[in-house]
Chain A
Amino acid sequence: MSDARRVLTQAAALVALSVLVGAAVHFPLVGRFARGEFRETFFQASDYPGVRLITLEEAEDIWRTQTAVFIDARRGGLYSEGHVPRSLSLPADESARTLPSLVMALARVGTVVVYCEGGDCQSSLALAKRLHEAGCRDVRVFTGGWEEWRAAGLPEEKSGAPE
């Protein structure tokens, strides 16, 4: 084998090995990607400057004192099955269409708390970032989401708009 060819073969082998090792090591992530995750955003709080992540306690406190508007970023169907009382439904994937009109109203409200299903759901962060970019100055993400809210036995509301 010529010298140049050997060097190229080695380089190609390194690339192929990287693909294999990367796919093997990050197998769970690759699986999640294959199932449709990460198409909207990669979860990383540090990539959302100006957006604060809050815990269940903080969310509950804000909700009880009614000092913020809660926004449910999940799909409409899930929202009707049960949501945080007095929350608005703004599915993250539809927000591009509905956002402009809402932001005007939300910007005046002050604090906005966004949540989605929980676990490491991405839509609340994606929506929070969009809200922040659109002009909402105080956007918080309740990362525990609906799952945590429900598990804590906090009040819930079913279907329809709250007001």
Chain B
Amino acid sequence: MLRNKGVRLAFRLVLGGLFVYAGAVKVLEPLAFAQNVRNYQLVGQSLSFVAAIILPWLEILAGLALILGVWTRGAALVVTGLLVFFIVLTAVTMARGLDVDCGCFGSLSRKSGWSVVLEDLGMLALGLALLIAPKKR
């Protein structure tokens, strides 16, 4: 199935689109996102700020690369890496019993919880598929 160009394209567009969107809403409100990161109580104020400056752009650039089909597997690696991190972060946050807004999609975010993990797992499947997909000929 992954040899099918149409399927690969669909995966790239869906995953890339989601990441570009997720990054864009954060870029628009960097301080809100910084506070979001801080709320996870994992890193301090400064690291939260740095993450808020860089992370949204990483999402956007990796998403764009997927959409455009440039550096596809490198972008897939970034995206899967981020998703694994998000999933672990969400699980840890739930285990700690923190009531945190996930911060995933800016103001459309909801409380960090199982639905976030499921959503991330879905995206992770797409990302892994693109990462391990056989090379284009």
* Shortest CB distance A158–B (Å): 34
Please tell me if the beta carbons of B32 and A18 are within 8 angstroms of each other in the complex. no
Q: Per-residue CB proximity of B107-137 to A under 8 Å, as 1/0?
A: 0000000000000000000000001000100
Please tell me if the beta carbons of B31 and A42 are within 8 angstroms of each other in the complex. yes
Please tell me if the beta carbons of B77 and A42 are within 8 angstroms of each other in the complex. no
A65 at the interface (CB under 8 A from B): no
Query: Cβ of A38: which chain B residues have Cβ within 8 Å of it?
Result: 31, 34, 45, 49
Query: Cβ of A19: which chain B residues have Cβ within 8 Å of it?
Result: 54, 57
**Across the two chains, which residue of chain B brings its CB closest to A3?**
B135
B15 at the interface (CB under 8 A from A): no
Q: A18-B57, A33-B49 are in contact. Are A10 and B73 (CB under 8 A)?
A: yes
Q: A13-B71, A14-B65 are in contact. Are A42 and B58 (CB under 8 A)?
A: no
Bound form: Cα–Cα A9–B78 in Å? 11
Please tell me if the beta carbons of B61 and A18 are within 8 angstroms of each other in the complex. yes
Bound form: Cα–Cα A15–B53 in Å? 12
Q: Please classify the interface of chain B as helix (H, G, I), strand (E, B), loop, or mixed, using the class held by over half of its residues.
A: helix
B contact residues, range: 20 to 34
A40 at the interface (CB under 8 A from B): yes
Given contacts A18-B55, A38-B45, A47-B39, 17 further A-B contacts (CB under 8 A): A10-B65, A11-B77, A14-B58, A14-B71, A14-B78, A15-B78, A17-B61, A18-B54, A18-B58, A19-B54, A21-B61, A26-B30, A29-B30, A38-B34, A38-B49, A41-B35, A42-B49
Measured CB to CB, the residues of A under 8 A from B are 3, 6-11, 13-15, 17-19, 21-23, 25-26, 29-30, 33, 38-44, 46-47
Measured CB to CB, the residues of B under 8 A from A are 27, 29-32, 34-35, 38-39, 45-46, 48-49, 53-58, 60-62, 65, 71, 73-75, 77-78, 81, 131, 135
Supply 16 A–B pairs (Cβ within 8 Å), ascending by A.
Answer: A7-B74, A8-B77, A9-B74, A10-B71, A10-B75, A10-B77, A14-B65, A14-B78, A18-B61, A22-B57, A33-B46, A38-B45, A40-B45, A42-B38, A44-B35, A46-B32
